[in-house]
Each structure stands twice: as structure tokens, then as C-alpha cells.
Amino acid sequence: MSDIINLTLSALINKIKKKELSSQEITNAYIARAEKSKDLNTYITTDFENAIEKAKKFDEKGNFDYKLPGIPIAVKDLFCTNNLKTTAGSKILSNFIPSYESTVTQHLWDEGAILLGKLNCDEFAMGSSNETSFFGNVESPVGKKVVPGGSSGGSASALAAKLTPTTIGTDTGGSIRQPASFTGTVGLKPTYGSCSRYGIVAFASSLDQAGPMTQDVSDAALMLDVISKYDTKDSTSVNFKRGDYFKSLSSNIKGKKIGIPKEYRVDGMAKEIESLWQDGITLLKKLGAKIIDISLPHTKYALPAYYIVAPAEASSNLARYDGVKYGYRSEGENLISMYENTRSEGFGDEVKRRIMIGTYVLSSGYYDAYYLKAQKIRRLIKNDFDEAYKSVDAILTPSTPSSAFKIGDKTDDPVSMYLNDIFTVPVNLSGLPAISIPAGKDKNNYPLGLQLIGKAFEEQNLLDISYSMEKELSFKNNLQDWWI
């Protein structure tokens, strides 16, 4: 059994296709490990009985040509799953059972995958440490009382602890890449418009994007093949020619031009992050890439602009939670007080803060000064990238300004928490694809990640570069299973 959980997704698929392993054996192995790993608090809802049933059915008459034949997968609890509770980590949706399936999860099941359950996340994906979830903190397998990052913290922790062979998360400001970096896993945020947003609990609609979180880069390519598809149910889904990402993977990156943005060398950045970045540059040179210094002058304005745009969209998206049609309701003496009590009791502190910020920046008299201003800054940030991409194919940066921190370390100061996303947020504002790959460790043995940012819709290029780097880096988490 220990062998099964140590296999990558692609290795598991090979074993299943060769009939060396059955879907039941694999599913049971992951369930058994999850049962022993409850202390990490990765799951909000498990669906193990159904998973075993589905695995049995797959072994009896499954289609082995599927891309994910009989593979059990747990997903972030932000994806609506038909007939299975979907909470978004919030009290206000703690009893919500969708009657439809998100497009992205449907793609997984259509390719033969089996749902294991729903993974913990920050409430409505608002957070960088998985400490805002109504269902409690998630612990990272990399260390006791260490945060897994957020908002896809349950996903990152479950993947790193080998409770699921792969998972999917969502990334609005770094929510796939930052937790991937904190847990020594691979996290890919595809170009905005690649993966359908239909059936994903909305946070900030112009920034939200689903993506794979995996053990290695080939697994990420494989998962992207499954979930990146045009969807008429999402009005911002883009109908572009998608690659055959897994099959086309190449580690030849000779001559590729990689930009190094000087603005990402921020004040107070840990020394080990700086040297990680330098090592990444040296490695890329060794692999035959050409390193070019570039400038993204508006980088420092990305985070402040994000904290106008994202809360503004959130305040509007979350207006639907009013206790009328679904979700938690608190009584009140009239309709308005019912709304106010429901929302006050149903939302946690961080969500309330962001709704209030959003409401304020959109309110009469402040719209131009804040929201319109932020949208203009957003244009400047995107222009910076457009300009840079005239001379480079991709950009290399650290994924985060520090390694994972302890639970409780940053909860008293929202701004210090927000600074975690300083390197990831510009990418969402510009709609670009980016990937975080594990590249080293800090003095506590906590993982550190490097981020590659690509041109819109050129995921293959990103995957190739990170694939070639991964081979040389040969990163290993070497977890001691202390939580079992």
C-alpha cells in the first residue's frame, strides 16, 4: 500500500492500464491513509463509500482509454459537486447540496476519475494560510503547526501528504501557486479563460481560474489536458486551440529567453529566497536558456490594486448569500434584519472585511477614486507584461517572499498576510498563466518554490521550461509522516 501512495499520477495510470493495479486497490490505499491523517484537517466532506463503489464498477467494466482511468481524486471544496455538500469553507454554505456539477469536475469524471471528497480551503477562497475556513485550520505535512498556504490549503496539504494523487484548486491571487510553494508541490494557474468557471463558487470573477495541483510537472500537463476546455456555460471561456500538453512535453529549452524582473527583488525578502532565485537563473543558463534582465515597473502597485478589484467583485458576487434560496439563515424581525443577521452570522471576519472594502470602493462618491483607479493600474500592470514579452518567452521569479509560517503568526495583521501574494497577484491581474515548482528548502527544511510566468495561452512553453528544470532540481519532500 505504501507503494501505491508514493506513485505519481502518470505512474498510477500506467499501472492501471497494464492491470498491475486495480482502481479499488488505489482508492482503498488513499482512503486508508486519509483515515489516519485526520489531524491535518484536509477534508471538509468525504465521499469514501461512493468512491469505493465507483472503483468497483470501474474495475468491472471501466474504459481503460480514459485519461484518468479509475483514479481517485479529492478536490477543493469550491467546486460544486452534484448531490455532495459544497461549502466554500463557509458557515453560510455549510448545508448547501448542489443539484449540478461544475464543468471542470465534470471533465474529471468524464475521463474516468473518481471523487474522494471535498478539501478544506479559506472561506470563499479569501486567505493565504487556510486559517479563515469555518471548518478550521489545515496543518501542512511539512511541519507541525505550519500553515499549508491558501486559499487551496486543504488541497496542497492533502496532495503533499499523499492523501490524493492529484487535486484541483482555484487561483484568484495566488491560491494555487502559493500553497504549492509552501508544500513542495506543483501548482499551475492557467491563462484566464482556459478552464471554465461554471459551477465554481465565485470570488472575483475577472481573476478566478481553476488549475491542477500535482506531484510533478508531467502530472500537471496531464491534468491540464483534462480540464482546459472551451465551455459555453462560462461567458469568459476562450475558444483557442489548446495543446496536447502531456504528449508534447519537451525538456529541450535551448535558446528560450527568460526574463528576470528587477522589481521582484523586494525589501525584506529572505536571503534564502534570493539565493533560490539565483540558483534558478544559473540552472536555466545551464539548460541553454538565455537570461534577460527586464523591468515590470508597476509591480509594486499590483497588490494595492488587487485589494480594490478583488473585494469589489467579491462584494457583488457574495450579495447572493442572503438566507433566502439556499444556505444558512438566521431569523430577523423583518426582511432586512433577516438578511443582516444571516450575513453577520454566516460570514467569517476576513470575508466581512472584504465585502466591506468592496462595498466602500464601489459606493457613490468613491468609485472613481478607488475602483476606476485600480482598473487603470491594472491596465498598466498588463502593459508591463506585454512590453516584456516582446523580448522574452517567460519570466522567472520566486513564488512567495518567504517559506511557510506557523499557524497564528499573521492572523492579527491583514496587510502582512496580504503581502504573501506579492509575486503571484500581478499574474491574475494580467490574466496570464503561471506555474510554481518546488525548487529548494529553507533552514527549517520547509519547501521553497520558483514561479514561471508565461504568455497568454502558451501553457506548453511554461510546462516545458518547468519540466526541464524539475529534472535537474530533483526535489524531494521526504516527509516523516509525523501526523499519522
Partner 1 sequence: MSIDLKTIKHIAKLSRISIDDKKAKELEKDLNSIFEFIEALNKVDTKKVDPLTSIVETSLKLRGDEVKTKNIREQILKNSPDENKDFFVVPKVVE
Site residues (vs partner 1, CB under 8 A): 95-97, 99, 192-193, 206, 232, 235-236, 238, 298, 300-301, 303-305, 307-308, 315, 319, 322-329, 331-341, 343-344, 347, 352-353, 355-357, 359-360, 363, 370, 372-380, 382, 413-415, 418, 430-431
Q: At what angle do helices 459-473 and 217-227 cross, to 10 degrees?
A: 160
Q: Residue 280 or residue 346: which is nearer to partner 1 going by CB?
A: 346
Please state, in angstroms and rounded to a whole number, the distance separating the CA atoms of residues 88 and 92.
9
Q: Which residues of 211-238 are buried (b: 16+ CB within 10 A; e: fewer)?
A: bbbbbbbbbbbbbbbbbbbebeebeebe
C-alpha separations of 284 from 261, 280, 291, 452 in Å:
15, 6, 8, 11
Give min distance, CB of 456 to partner 1, in A.
Answer: 8
Distance in Å, CB of 329 to partner 1, minimum: 4
Of residues 244 and 413, the one with the C-beta less far from partner 1 = 413
Strand order in 72-76's β-sheet?
43-46, 114-119, 72-76
Q: Which of 335, 484 has the CB closer to partner 1?
A: 335
Task: Choose between 66 and 307: whose C-beta lies nearer to partner 1.
Answer: 307
Residue 94 among the catalytic residues: no
Closer by beta carbon to partner 1, 252 or else 337? 337
Sequence-distant (6+) residues with CB within 8 A of 65 are none
Among 10, 54, 76, 399, the one annotated catalytic = 76
* Nearest distance, CB of residue 191 and partner 1, angstroms: 9
Q: Would you tell me how many other CB atoms lie within 10 Å of the CB of residue 59?
A: 16
Region of 445 (left: φ > 0; alpha: ψ -120 to 50; beta: rest) is: left
Out of 37, 151, 218, 403, pick the active-site residue.
151
If the CB atoms of residues 69 and 150 are measured against partner 1, the closer one turns out to be 150
Using the minimum distance from each CB to partner 1, give the nearer residue, 47 or 313: 313
Cβ-Cβ contacts under 8 Å for 110 (sequence gap 6 or more): none
**Distance, CA of 153 to CA of 137 (rounded, Å):** 9
Please report how the helices 217-227 and 9-17 are oriented relative to each other, as an axis angle in degrees rounded to 10: 70
Going 68 to 71 to 76 to 82, the CA torsion angle's sign is positive
Minimum Å gap between C-beta 297 and partner 1 is 10
Q: Where are the alpha helices (DSSP H) in 69-128?
A: 103-110
Q: Catalytic site residue 151?
A: yes
Cell numbers placing 289: 536558456
Q: Which of 133, 175, 315, 468 is catalytic?
A: 175
CB of 138 to partner 1, least distance (A): 23
Per-residue cell: 27: 482508492
DSSP letters spanning 193-205: TSS--TTBPPS-T
Neighbour count for residue 292 (Cβ, 10 Å)? 14
How big, in percent rounded to 5, are the helix, strand and coil portions of the chain? 40, 15, 45
Give the three cell numbers for residue 472. Answer: 535537474
CB atoms within 10 A of CB 364: 5
Catalytic, 76? Answer yes
**54 vs 298, which CB is nearer to partner 1?**
298
Least distance (Å) between residue 269 CB and partner 1: 18
Q: Which residues are catalytic?
A: 76, 151, 175
